[in-house]
Structure formats: structure tokens, C-alpha cells
Amino acid sequence: MTGDDSERLITHVRSALERDLAVSIEGEASKAFLGPRADGELLSTRGHTGIIEYRPDELVVTARAGTLLSELDAALGAENQMLACDPPRFGGKGTLGGAIAAGFSGPARPWQGSVRDGLLGVELVNGHGERMQFGGQVMKNVAGYDVSRLMVGARGTLGLILSASLRVLPRPEYTRTAVAAVDRVEACSRSLNLLHKPFPISGSCYVDNHLYVRLSGNEAAVEDASETLGADLEVEESFWGQVRDHEHPFFQGNRPLWRVSLARGSSLHSENYQEQLVEWAGAQVWAYMDDAQSQIEFGEGEHATPFRNVAGDSSKSISTADKYVRRLKAAFDPQDIFNRGMVV
């Protein structure tokens, strides 16, 4: 079922403001395991769904926040297109609004762009109960900051997303994954080197002492790159969906799991590299550890985010940019009604 449920959502926000009550925004709850939990009344976007406009010739799609990613996949796939950022579908679920709010991108992020890169515009309700539109449906080179992109990764703390427009890409005609058995040091060197090669790369992953490199494009270019890489193994394309959606065996552990973002060329040192999965040519590391703050010394722009099974004070994100997040929260949502408790 699809439909425009924006009036109910706006009315709920304005009512919460009048009563000075917080609201907890939720779509399909596919990322409900993320901590810390938000306080407040449930404000569900499940009834606010559907593709508003899709223009394949202009590579742009606009849809409501509660629209399932699987629905978008089907519509785009019919035109041999896809979302550039390829966001995860945890548990096979996930909505457009949740993908933007979480800001998670798939394995192709360094080569095809992030959710923020692909976001063209949003319509939202701010902390004053106002319905606002930012951005549009085309890429523009204008002065000033694109406010719509602030919504990416904000986890619903700055406003309620009603709809969004995103850039789409043609699906590659040919894909192949090359795998090489290498140690950690060699994997780091190769991963960094990949960023400077003119190969049609669409994903990299290091796990279980193997470096996986996905190549996508025309068949001749993919085969040439595969031969140059000198890979000695191959895997099914389903491997990348398992990594993206956290269905790979690595993610089945019960220990605290952290998502660590590193600067280019950095690496996360640990006594047990078997408890790490490295993506994005080394820029994103999934690591099992009890307390990221005591185990990692962060550089400028680097941070760790609690992802699963992290409790207590350790469940707070550790970032050098926290002070800016608090300032944005105060400007967009002065009464702190949206997902209260997520910004500390």
C-alpha cells in the first residue's frame, strides 16, 4: 500500500511540540538494534510510502520516506538502474528515510559515492513544526551549504524526513569478484593502491585473510583489470549482498561491534585481526571490541560508532565532531523532540 501520510505526520509533530513531548521516529525498525535508544512517542512512517516521481532519462528518483528500499530496487531495476550508494537492507528490510537517517553506504562507496553524495534534496518537518524543502532534483554547483545533506547520518535528530530525491546510476553490464589470499600488511598496501588505479572497482573487502575486489563495467575492462590484479580465486556476487546487509558470518558474533571510520592510509591496530572486517579500501572497519575509546587513538575526522551489542556509556558515538552535532541539534530542534537521547 502506498500513500501520502504527510498531514498526519506533521500534525503529530506539532502536537508533540505543544505538549512538550519527544517523538521516536521509526520506519521498518530494521536498525532498531543501534544504540542509544531514542525516547518519546512512536512516530511511524510506514504509511507514508510510494515513489513520487522517477525520471530514468535524468537519473533521478523521488520517493516518500517510508518507501521500502526493495520497492525502489524493483522500480529502478526495471529500467536497468540502481541507487548509487547501495544502502544496506538489514534483515531484508529498510526504508528510504532510514537509509538517509543512518547514512550507511554499501561496498561501492569510495567509487560510486555515499548516501550524502547521491542525495539531491529532501522535504522535512523541522523542530518548529514547519514543513521545509531543501535542494532539488538536479546536482547544482552553488554557493552555501546544501542543508539536505545534513540529514544524512543524523539519525532523525534534526527533523522528520518526508521525502527525498536521489541520484541513480545505470547497472553495470558485467561484474566479477577477484579474491587473493594475503596477510594484513599486504592487504592494506593493496587496498590503498587500488584508490590510485584506473580499474572499474565497485567494492573492496578484507576478511579472513582474503582481499576481495569487485570489478564492474564493460566485460573487456573488467577482464583486463582482473588479469592485472592477479587474483587466484573467485566468489559469487551474493558475497557483496551478505557484506552490505551484515549477513556474512563475520557479523554473527555476539561481542560488542563497532563501526570505525579512518582517514585514507590509516589502519586500525589490534592484537586480533580476525575480529575485523575492512571495507572501502581501508576507510571503514567493523571491529569487535569492548571499548573503542580506550583502544583507539583517533586522528582528525576519524570516529567510532557503536553498532551492535554495545551497552551503557560505551554506546555513545566517539567523534571529534560531536560539538558541531550539538550545535546543529540546537538550531534545528531547540525543544529536542526528535529522537531525544541520541545526541549527548
Q: Each residue of 181-239: pLDDT tens digit?
A: 888 888 888 888 888 888 999 999 999 999 999 999 999 999 999 888 876 666 877 89
131-135 and 119-125 beta bridge pairing: antiparallel
% of the chain with per-residue pLDDT over 70: 85
Mean pLDDT of 168-193: 89
Could you tell me which residue, 254 or 1, shows the higher pLDDT? Answer: 254
Single-letter code of the amino acid located at 66: G
Please give the full DSSP string across 180-196, using - where no structure is assigned.
Answer: EE--HHHHHHHHHHHTT
Q: Which three cell numbers stand for residue 158?
A: 534534526
Could you tell me which residue, 302 or 49, shows the higher pLDDT? Answer: 49
Give the pLDDT of residue 147: 83
Could you tell me which residue, 332 or 144, shows the higher pLDDT? Answer: 332
CATH architecture of 172-242: 2-Layer Sandwich (3.30)
**Domain ranges within the chain, ordered by starting residue:** 6-171, 172-242, 253-327
The 10s digit of each residue's pLDDT in 229-277 is 876 666 877 899 999 999 999 999 888 999 988 877 666 655 545 589 9
Burial pattern 178-194, b for ≥16 Cβ within 10 A else e, equals bbbebebeebbebbbeb
Could you tell me which residue, 30 or 144, shows the higher pLDDT? Answer: 30
- Given a cut of 60, is residue 311 above it in pLDDT? yes
- Given a cut of 80, is residue 324 above it in pLDDT? no
Ranges 154-163, 292-301, 318-327, most confident: 154-163
- Given a cut of 60, is residue 344 above it in pLDDT? no
The 10s digit of each residue's pLDDT in 81-133 is 999 889 999 888 899 999 999 999 999 999 999 999 999 999 999 999 999 99
Q: How far apart are CA 39 and CA 36, in angstroms?
A: 9
Q: How far apart are CA 241 and CA 270, in angstroms?
A: 27
- Given a cut of 80, is residue 37 above it in pLDDT? no
Q: How far apart are CA 169 and CA 76, in angstroms?
A: 9
Q: Which three cell numbers stand for residue 130?
A: 514547519
Q: 271 in helix, strand or coil? A: coil
- Given a cut of 60, is residue 59 above it in pLDDT? yes
Q: How far apart are CA 120 and CA 138, in angstroms?
A: 6
Give the pLDDT of residue 323: 72
> What CATH number has the domain spanning 6-171?
3.30.465.10
160-170 and 81-83 beta bridge pairing: antiparallel
Give the pLDDT of residue 101: 94
- Which of these, 343, 342, 301, 302, lies nearest to 325 by C-alpha position? 343
Specify the DSSP element, H or E, that contains 233. strand 233-234
